[in-house]
Structure 1
Amino acid sequence: MSLPSAFYSLPASVLLLALTFAAYHLVLAPYFNPLRRIAGPPQKGWFGTYLQALLDPARSPKVHEIFVRRYGRTIRIRGVGPWDVRLLSLDPVTITHVLKHSQIYEKPWQSQRLITSLIGCGMLGAEGAVHKRQRRVATPAFSIQNMRALVPLVYAKGTALRERWSAMFEDASCELEGAFSEDGMCKIDVARWVSRATFDVIGIAGFDYNFNAIQDETNELFCAYKDMFEVAISQGGFIRTVLMVYLPFLTRILVGDGFPSLACQSLILESLQPDEISRTVRRCQEVIRRVGGHLIQEKKRKVEEGQRSGKPYEAKDLLSLLLKSNTAPDLPPDQRISDEDILHNINTFMFAGSDTSSLALTWILLLLAQNPTIQERLRDELQAIAPPSDNLSEEEIQSLYGTLADLPYLSNVTRESMRLIPPVHSSLRAATQDDVLPTSSPVHKPDGTVDEGARSVLVPKGSFIHVPIEAFNLDKSIWGDAAWEFNPDRWDALPDAVNELPGLFAHTLTFSAGPRSCIGMRFSLIEIKTFLYILLTSFEFSECPGTRIIKANVVLTRPYVAGRFKEGSQCPLMVKPITRKL
């Protein structure tokens, strides 16, 4: 019996319907997008875009300046194709609205998938009710009192780094990255060493685990995190990242999982280079899950024993505080988070607490090396409060930091460097519903005219909103004509316009703003100021002759040696021990 002819045409009809649907959404629908009524740069070709220039810190300040001058502060840009119409805003009122209403403007699913595939669904990757629940549990752990209690731990690791460098100078250790110069200076990759130190800090402060990375880089858990963040994230490449986000099954195929036929798998692996980065990610995740899971169970046991005995477990690390907060009597059971969520947030603390702080410190040291007069002025201020002895009790360390935190020039240098080179270059949000964004300045039209009465923009559901963190921090119309220069004294007389900017930290977006602002800001500032005190009162920093350090946006803004990008992120400086004034 033959089948009806309609049966054979069904696949063709389905295919035609799918093609029609795709053509409408990819080609026709964008022309009706209300964002097209906003001025923006012209595009050349089907996939022409300015995204690369906008996200490259070597070019982005100039590009943002040109765009604002030509198209105003509310700008239409294209993403990866003509169907991808986005909004770039340098309007403080608009960005305040976006960051304040985090329930409407979430991280795009692509960003969420990339984050969660690496470090799990912690506060960095979670959205909505999940993020709110996790943040509620974690907030008590990050109180001012708890953060100040960690100061002696940070001080101990800063001192360990100083002693490690001093010992290397004394025995001319081959671990130094270069030969000694005639004046006793030596080239050290400060990015590498500061990263090892901040890993040690977050290990102890985060979950009472000693990586001992300053002394030795072979610890299993340290290597897992290091490879995860430096190899998998920094060296993943654009193509691999796109595949991991849009075609996650391909990653499973390339690492040898999820494909039923070994013969077919071998054929694929012969035609495609095996994804070693995916293998690295999986290996690291297995180590982190095993060791981290054991740490969580041990901490839970100690916390529960303390609760039963009436003698509370007094550990000060974030994991212990998180577990205590999660079992607090006043927290409803349905608001508590699972052990898996706790592990994911520990991974988040490791990434956010180590990588961002180490980069901030590295950039500060580079800026001080490039500006020796500022470096010497800051050193004088720091040495003026140095105690008569290095052997300090915890109470004396706390007292020292209390003085340190209020030093005016140290505060100015910290704020200025983090304004000038924020570790997070920019952020992206997606509208989960249609919304009207307010603006403080008129919106320019595509024909070049300006509607002086227009003070809002209609944003359709699904639209991407670019939050240009660096651009806000460097906006000359707000910070003045010298906004791109390193000038700590500017903080003694800020322009009035700065006060209108959103931001959790010093009128900048370095630590973001709103409900999703950085929960660890206080801890990061403790770490940065303590390390600066210890290092600058012990060593002098200057630029390496013939070496130019450039900025590159590789998840975070990282330093690289010009012409040697493939060698990975590094920031070599000339370092010289100095006599500390005690």
Structure 2
Amino acid sequence: MDCSGFQLFWWSIKLVGLLVALLVARGVLWLVNLLWVAPRFDPLRNLPGPDASAFHSHFCSVNDPDITPELYHEWTSKLFGKTFRYHGYGRHDYRLMSFDLRVVSHVLTSPVYQKPWQTRAYLGRLLGRGVFNMEGAEHKALRKLIGPAFTAQAVKGMSSIFLQKAEELRDRWDALVSANGSSTATFDVAHWISRTTFDIFGLSGFDYHFNALHDESEEVYSAYRRMFNISDKATHLRVLKQLYLPIVERIWPDRDDKITQQCLKTIRDCGTGLIQAKRETYMNEKSDDKDILSLLIKSNLSTEPSNRLSDTELLDQLSSFLFAGSDTTALAITWCLHILSHHPEIQSRLRAELLSSPTPDTVTSSKRNSICSVSSTSSVMQADTIDALPYLDAVVRETLRVSPPVHGTVRVATVDDLIPVSSPVVLRNGKIIHENEYIRIKKGSFVHIPVEGLNMSEEIWGPDARQFNPDRWTSLPAGATPPSFPGLANLMSFSFGRASCPGYRFALLEAKVVIATLVTQFVFSPVEGIEIGKYNSVVTRPFVRDRLDSEGFQLPLRISKHTD
């Protein structure tokens, strides 16, 4: 190598070394700022809250529905008050949590607060860019577009599907009990309810027959279940890899990555075909179909061309609706049956109300005379009858209160902000933030909305807040005032504000129809010798303690035929 070549080589080495040194220095500065500098100037630092060691996290505590009812009670009533901070990924990571409804209302209604990019990326990986992971003007426009699909009239138009599938489930269970050679059998109700709500949303959402109640081999149903089974069991490290190193999944996919991609392709291929067929039918025949996809296509075609959704965007909405409209409602019904099995007096009272309420056409058989039977009369009239039953309504709402399908949610501040409080906050230095004053929060800070905690707050619901008591809905405490949804009275299960659930009417009526159909036919009891726990993944699923790793999510119940 001549002298000039050697010098060039030497300067190249120096340049590479300098770049590496700069990167290392930048990394060290970032780490020092993250762990020591930024926390010292974080306004949440002065709030009351639990302490932790350098890298201790409170995530396991605040996200575990098995312990949070007691934990939240202790933190709010005995230690910190309504508004406090806890530690996220370590002592440096301050996160705000509040049981003050003024704080919660400000966060959920202000455009300053959005779902974190991590949440949107995780959901987007499985569901695409649906309404549940969009923000800003895009989210607002999409809410307006999908609104017609979830009006009270549109939901009632789907009630015949609810009734049909509820009766199919009833008949399957009746056959299972009879096949057992007695009037009693034990099986996993969570699995069966999930199959039912999947069928219901297939028909009401896309006019598509999954037939999951009769055969679980249908390819889209199978793909969806395999994909979310993998997601539900994902380790924390796996989720971090998917969020922060997605290139690893693309370049070196493991077995679960490959299965997920295959499932997504199956779902998208089917969905694309459904959208094209529905659009052609509407354009050629001006179809009067009432399924959600048809209503979405009509609404989409009636908007300005520049605001219309592409087929991919329409498909993303359907994937989101399928998840929210199937899994969350299935869990609400499942938890309701579980709770009723532990409260036989409430179950009997509900059954008496159902059996004493005739269908509009009043048939002769006592079984067929109950409102849970599909008759020749208008299914809308039947749905109205079911929806109006006061004790059934109270049981469903109380179930959603104490066992919400979604345990909590998170928002992130996109700019520095002042959050108003309605209850005093005693800071660590002894100073007090009084009513109508403000908490300062910096850009990038996370706010945890404890859905389950607010649903069982004694400040709102009274001293028996952690008890299942449907009668509370006939005489609500003074603190339980309606937020966005009339009559839902601080029930956080559907959230409220900009990100409230657009399909809450759909979920409530579907749950009522299925529960009414099952409770008139069967008596539910706990299975002796097992204990049911709650596991929080994207949603709160049931499992048998000490069997989660070997048997997965399930909720077995002892089911007997009801005799007059």
Instruction: Please state which band the TM-score falls in when normalised by the shorter chain.
Output: over 0.9
For 1:502 and 1:53, locate their aligned partners in 2 and report how far apart those are by CA, in whole Å. Answer: 30
- Asked if 1:235 is matched to 2:270, the reply is no
1:495 offset after TM fit, Å? 1.2
Q: Distance in 2 between matches of 1:246 and 1:228?
A: 20
Q: CA deviation at 1:14?
A: 4.2
Query: How does 1:318-467 map onto structure 2 within 5 Å?
Result: 318-328=292-302, 331-387=303-359, 388-389=362-363, 390=368, 392-393=374-375, 395-452=377-434, 455-467=437-449
Contact 1:133–1:336 (8 Å) recurs in 2: no
1:381 is matched by which residue type in structure 2? E
Task: Note closer, same or farther for the CA distance 1:502–1:313 as it changes in structure 2 (3 Å cut).
Answer: closer
Give the alignment's Cα RMSD to 1 decimal: 1.8
Q: 2:516 aligns with which of 533, 549, 567?
A: 533
Superposed, which structure 2 residues align to 1:83-162 within 5 Å?
A: 83-101=92-110, 103-162=111-170
Partner of 1:212: 211
- The 8 Å contact of residues 27 and 82 in structure 1, kept in 2 or not, is answered as no
- Whether the aligned pair in 1 keeps the contact of 2:421 and 2:434 (CA below 8 Å) is no
Mapped partners of 2:485, 2:536: distance in 1: 21
What's the CA shift for 1:6? 6.5
Which amino acid in structure 1 is aligned with residue 409 of structure 2? S
Change (3 A) 1:144 1:433: same
| C-alpha displacement of 1:132 | 1.7
AA partner of residue 62 (structure 2): L
Partner residue, 1:474:
456
Please, what TM-score do these two structures have when normalized by structure 2? 0.92
Report the Cα offset of residue 144 of structure 1.
1.1
In structure 2, relative to structure 1, the CA distance for the partners of 1:506 and 1:500 (3 Å cut) is closer
Question: How many residues are aligned here?
Answer: 542
Residue 552 of structure 2 corresponds to which residue in structure 1?
568
Q: Contact between 2:532 and 2:542, CA under 8 Å: does it hold in 1?
A: yes
1:83 Cα shift?
A: 3.5
Asked if 1 retains the 8 angstrom alpha-carbon contact of 2:46 and 2:429, the reply is no
Question: Against the structure 1 CA distance between its residues 352 and 576, is the aligned structure 2 distance closer, same or farther, given a 3 Å change threshold?
Answer: same
Contact 1:88 1:467 in 2 (8 A): yes
Q: Structure 1, residues 130-165: CA drift from partner, whole Å, max 9, x if none?
A: 222221111111111111000011100001111111
Q: Distance in 1 between matches of 2:60 and 2:224?
A: 28
User: What SS does the aligned partner of 2:528 have?
Assistant: coil
Note the alpha carbon deviations across 1:526-563, whole angstroms, 9 max, x for none. Answer: 11010111111111111111111111112111111111
Aligned counterpart, 1:493:
475
8 Å CA contact 1:442–1:453 kept in 2: the answer is yes
In the alignment, the residues of structure 2 paired with residue 167 and residue 149 of structure 1 have an alpha-carbon distance, to the nearest angstrom, of 30
Question: In structure 1, what is the equivalent of residue 24 of structure 2?
Answer: 15
* Rounded Cα–Cα distance in structure 2 between residues aligned with 1:486 and 1:111: 31
Distance 1:14 1:368 in 2: 60
TM-score by length of 1: 0.90
Match of 1:124, SS state, is helix
Identity of aligned residues (%): 38
**After superposition, what is the alpha-carbon deviation per residue over 1:508-532, rounded to whole angstroms, capped at 9, x for unaligned?**
1000000210000001011101011
Q: Is contact 1:431–1:461 with CA below 8 Å preserved after alignment?
A: yes
- Counterpart CA distance in 1 for 2:319 and 2:337 is 27
Q: Decide which moves more: 451-460 or 47-56.
A: 451-460
Q: Relative to structure 1, is the Cα distance of residues 15 and 238 closer, same or farther in structure 2, using a 3 angstrom cutoff?
A: closer
Change (3 A) 1:18 1:546: closer
Deviation at 1:20, TM superposition (A): 1.9
- Who is 1:509 aligned against? 492
Q: Look up the SS of the partner of 2:318 in the other structure.
A: helix
Question: Quick check: 1:194–1:361 contact (8 Å CA) kept in 2?
Answer: yes
8 Å contact kept, 1:205–1:318:
yes
SS at match of 1:496: coil
User: CA–CA distance in 2 between the matches of 1:39 and 1:574?
Assistant: 46
Q: Secondary structure at the match of 1:498?
A: coil
Task: Quote the residue 2:171 is aligned against.
Answer: 163
Structure 2: which 5+ runs fail to align? none
Partner of 1:262: none
In structure 2, C-alpha distance between the alignment counterparts of 1:136 and 1:394, rounded to whole Å: 35
Matched, 1:315 2:324: no
User: Do 1:152 and 1:394's aligned partners in 2 also have CA atoms closer than 8 Å?
Assistant: no
Q: State the 1:245 CA deviation.
A: 1.1
1:393-436 deviations in whole A, cap 9, x for unaligned?
A: 56432222212111111111111111011010000000111111
Aligned equivalents of 1:386 and 1:369: distance in 2?
A: 25
1:80 aligned onto 2:89: yes
Instruction: Indicate if the aligned counterparts of 1:153 and 1:201 stay in contact, CA closer than 8 A.
Output: yes
Given that 1:39 and 1:447 are in contact with CA atoms closer than 8 Å, whether structure 2 keeps it comes out as: no
Supply the AA of the counterpart residue of 2:334: T
Q: How many angstroms apart in 2 are the aligned matches of 1:232 and 1:211?
A: 21
Please report how far the alpha carbon of residue 500 of structure 1 lies from its aligned counterpart in structure 2 after TM superposition. Answer: 6.7
Contact 1:92 1:500 in 2 (8 A): no
Distance between the aligned counterparts of 2:58 and 2:177, measured in 1? 47
Provide the rounded CA distance (Å) in 1 between the counterparts of 2:298 and 2:18.
63
Asked if the contact 2:418/2:441 (under 8 Å) is kept, the reply is yes
From 505, 517, 521, the equivalent of 1:522 is 505
Q: Which residue of 2 aligns with 1:57?
A: 65
1:11–1:192 distance in 2 versus 1, CA, 3 Å: closer
Quickly say closer, same or farther: Cα 1:451–1:98, change in 2 above 3 A: closer
Checking the alignment, whether the CA contact within 8 Å between 1:296 and 1:319 is kept in structure 2 is yes
How many angstroms does 1:18 deviate by?
Answer: 3.6
Q: Provide the C-alpha distance between the structure 2 equivalents of 1:17 and 1:153, rounded to a whole number of angstroms.
A: 59
**Contact 2:483–2:496 at 8 Å: present in 1 too?**
no
Query: Structure 1, residues 328-382: CA drift from partner, whole Å, max 9, x if none?
Result: 1xx2222211111110111011100000000000000011110001000000000
Contact in 1 for aligned 2:417/2:441 (Cα 8 Å)? yes
CA deviations 1:69-119 (Å, max 9, x no partner) are 312211111110233221111110000011111x21111011111000111
